[in-house]
């Protein structure tokens, strides 16, 4: 039994359609009732999606575009076919492909498609995908305020759906609003949206990677605009953790690899370059006019002061073209000296960690007093733990901060392990040789 509903008088054919639909498909009665709890209009009952006018207008728009855009005729025909057949998933996939076309990203093609076609079934498709489409559409607006207004309207519609997993698409759209505010120079509003987004993200579970990637990308761009190198570096690497490198364009990869490299060199308390050097995006620098920064990273990672000085000499023009590097020249020298110190410690066996300051001074080209300052800096940022003995002019290192090792460092570790295995084998043979004498006694 179905509860009684008060229905306004309708045309006989409409009422008959409604009754037959309920009687023949009781399991799908929810499809015949809208979110307000009332039955849809007769035209919606007959056509099955949207309002009658909406369906007709959507199809008319697609047909008109098919005639106006012969280069996209097949695409529009496919969209219309899938729409009429109500194959929402397939339609979503087709739209995803369509919106990536360069030819579709000219003029207001995407804006018109969204407002005249997608809007008719926007709540019938995956809402996160809808958010993706809305963000792509917003990028086509020449006026940034208009783009924000459009996105805020999308958020309102998303909230009205009352779906359980609505936070994901809303957060994704909000991050695009934050990005637009950053482009406008409104850092304060961008920061507020990022802080709210961080709170939302931390409260969610099983979050789609694209939402994570969107948040960390906008965060990285905010910190880049604020010249906060270490925070940019951290957030950009997190962005890459949620993004496949293959999905990025070559120009995008090159720009990001260059920015990451500069941030690694200039960022406070960044003394581990192994993670960046191990990431495939860094290979985008090889064979380009900025390949020098790749070799600079290699020099810092190995603490090779001589190589660093040679690179500075050879690529002086390129270096001076980067104001941030010029302004932080002393900071860079201090950082590579610290990394040189860490390499000295790493290269010595664990039983030989009492190092004369003169050895460090020779490798770093510093005076003994400057070496002491270098050691105190390393101790203060917790890169090493140990004791400086000014009487004997030595330093005993008891701990070194773990690092991501490169291939040369792993090979050195392998050689040391081989040497240790050899010592163990020699000891074993010695014990075996002396065992009969010990037993005899």
Asked if residue 337 lies in contact with residue 305, where contact means CB atoms within 8 angstroms, the answer is yes
**Mean residue pLDDT across the chain:** 86
Give the chain's length.
441
> Pick from 288, 262, 287, 284: which is nearest to 273 by CA?
262
Q: Over pLDDT 70: what percentage of the chain? A: 86
Residue 284 has pLDDT above 60, yes or no: yes
pLDDT value at position 175? 98
Residue 360 has pLDDT above 50, yes or no: yes
Residue 351 has pLDDT above 90, yes or no: no
Give the C-alpha separation, 137 to 151, whole Å.
9
CA distances from 258 to 96, 151, 236, 273, 322 (A): 30, 32, 12, 14, 11
Note the pLDDT tens digit of each residue in 115-166.
999 999 998 999 999 999 999 999 999 999 999 999 999 999 999 998 888 9
Q: Is 398 helix (H, G, I), strand (E, B) or coil?
A: strand
Note the pLDDT tens digit of each residue in 10-49.
333 343 343 334 334 433 333 333 333 333 333 333 333 4
Give the C-alpha separation, 199 to 202, whole Å.
5
- CB contact burial 376-398 (16+ within 10 A = b; e otherwise): eebbeeebbebebeeeeebbebe
The residue-averaged pLDDT of 208-233 equals 97
pLDDT value at position 327? 94
Residue 330 has pLDDT above 50, yes or no: yes
Write phi, then psi, for 370 (nearest 5 degrees). -70, -35
The residue-averaged pLDDT of 367-388 equals 93
* Domains of the chain with bracketed CATH: 1-48 (no CATH), 263-327 (no CATH), 331-440 (1.10.10.10)
Cα-Cα-Cα-Cα torsion 196, 197, 199, 203, nearest 10 degrees, comes to: 140
Task: Give the CA count within 13 Å in the CB-facing half-sphere of 281.
Answer: 26
SS3 per-residue string spanning 335-394: HHHHHHHHHHHHHCCCCCCEEEHHHHHHHHCCCHHHHHHHHHHHHHCCCEEEEEECCCCE
**Distance between the two ends of the chain, CA-based, in angstroms?**
100
Residue with tokens 């999905």: 247
Residue with tokens 């390393």: 378
Which residues contact residue 366 at a Cβ distance below 8 angstroms, ignoring those fewer than 6 apart? 337, 360, 374
Asked if residue 374 lies in contact with residue 364, where contact means CB atoms within 8 angstroms, the answer is yes
Per-residue pLDDT band for 53 (boundaries 50, 70, 90) equals low
Write phi, then psi, for 349 (nearest 5 degrees). -65, 155
The DSSP result for 239-289, as a single string, is HHHTS-GGGS-HHHHHHHHHHHHHHHHHSTT----HHHHHSGGGGGGTTST
DSSP state of 247: G
Note the pLDDT tens digit of each residue in 309-321.
999 999 999 999 9
pLDDT value at position 2? 36
Helix, strand, coil percent content, the chain, rounded in steps of 5? 70, 5, 25
Distance of CA 110 to the CA centre of its chain: 25
pLDDT value at position 437? 61
Residue with tokens 């994570």: 212
Asked if residue 384 lies in contact with residue 401, where contact means CB atoms within 8 angstroms, the answer is yes
Asked if residue 114 lies in contact with residue 132, where contact means CB atoms within 8 angstroms, the answer is no
pLDDT value at position 433? 79
Note the pLDDT tens digit of each residue in 57-105.
999 999 999 999 999 999 999 999 999 999 999 999 999 999 999 999 9
Asked if residue 299 lies in contact with residue 307, where contact means CB atoms within 8 angstroms, the answer is yes
> Pick from 288, 238, 241: which is nearest to 263 by CA?
238
| Lowest pLDDT segment from 31-40, 55-64, 340-349, 392-401 | 31-40
C-beta atoms surrounding 230 within 10 Å: 15
Cα-Cα-Cα-Cα torsion 297, 300, 301, 307, nearest 10 degrees, comes to: 90
Note the pLDDT tens digit of each residue in 159-214.
999 888 899 999 999 999 999 999 999 999 999 999 999 999 999 999 999 999 99
> Pick from 282, 384, 126: which is nearest to 295 by CA?
282
Helix axes 144-161, 127-138, angle to 10 degrees: 170
Give the C-alpha separation, 420 to 132, whole Å.
56
pLDDT value at position 440? 53
Output 292-298 pairs: Cβ under 8 A, ≥24 positions apart: 292/318, 292/319, 293/258, 293/261, 293/262, 293/265, 294/261, 296/261, 296/265, 297/261, 297/264, 297/265, 297/273, 298/406
> Pick from 286, 290, 234: which is nearest to 258 by CA?
290
């Amino acid at each position: 039994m179905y509860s009684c509903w008060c229905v306004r008088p309708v045309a006989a054919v409409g009422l008959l359609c409604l009754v037959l639909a309920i009687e023949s498909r009781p399991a799908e009665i929810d499809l015949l009732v809208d979110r307000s709890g009332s039955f849809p209009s007769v035209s919606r009952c007959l056509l099955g999606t949207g309002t009658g006018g909406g369906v007709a207008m959507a199809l008319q728009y697609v047909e008109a575009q098919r005639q106006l855009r012969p280069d996209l005729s097949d695409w529009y025909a496919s969209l219309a076919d899938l729409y009429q057949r109500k194959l929402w998933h397939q339609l979503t996939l087709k739209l995803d492909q369509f919106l990536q076309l360069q030819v579709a990203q000219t003029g207001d093609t995407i804006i018109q498609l969204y407002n005249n076609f997608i809007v008719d079934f926007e709540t019938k498709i995956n809402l996160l995908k809808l958010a993706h489409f809305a963000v792509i559409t917003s990028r086509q607006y020449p006026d940034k305020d208009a783009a924000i207004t459009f996105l805020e309207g999308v958020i309102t519609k998303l909230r009205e759906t009352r779906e359980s997993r609505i936070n994901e698409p809303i957060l994704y759209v909000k991050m695009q609003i934050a990005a637009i505010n950053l482009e406008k120079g409104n850092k304060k509003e961008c920061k507020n949206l990022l802080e709210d987004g961080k709170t939302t993200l931390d409260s969610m579970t099983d979050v789609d990677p694209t939402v994570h990637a969107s948040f960390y990308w906008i965060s990285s761009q905010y910190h880049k605009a604020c010249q906060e190198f270490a925070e940019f570096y951290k957030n950009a690497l997190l962005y890459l953790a949620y993004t496949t490198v293959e999905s990025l364009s070559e120009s995008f990869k090159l720009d990001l690899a260059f920015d990451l490299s500069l941030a690694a060199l200039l960022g406070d308390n960044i003394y581990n370059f192994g993670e960046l050097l191990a990431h495939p995006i860094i290979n985008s620098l090889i064979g380009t006019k900025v390949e020098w920064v790749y070799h600079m990273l290699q020099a810092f990672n190995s603490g090779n002061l001589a190589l660093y000085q040679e690179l500075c000499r050879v690529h002086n023009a390129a270096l001076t073209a980067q104001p941030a590097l010029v302004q932080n020249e002393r900071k860079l020298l201090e950082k590579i000296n610290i990394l040189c110190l860490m390499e000295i410690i790493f290269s010595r066996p664990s039983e030989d960690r009492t190092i004369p300051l003169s050895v460090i001074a020779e490798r770093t080209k510093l005076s003994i007093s400057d070496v002491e300052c270098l050691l105190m800096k390393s101790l203060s940022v917790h890169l090493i733990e140990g004791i400086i003995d000014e009487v004997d002019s030595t330093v005993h290192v008891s701990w070194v901060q773990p690092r991501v090792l490169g291939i040369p460092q792993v090979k050195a570790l392998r050689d040391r392990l081989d040497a240790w295995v050899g010592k163990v084998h020699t000891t074993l043979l010695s014990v075996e040789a002396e065992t009969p004498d010990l037993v005899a006694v």
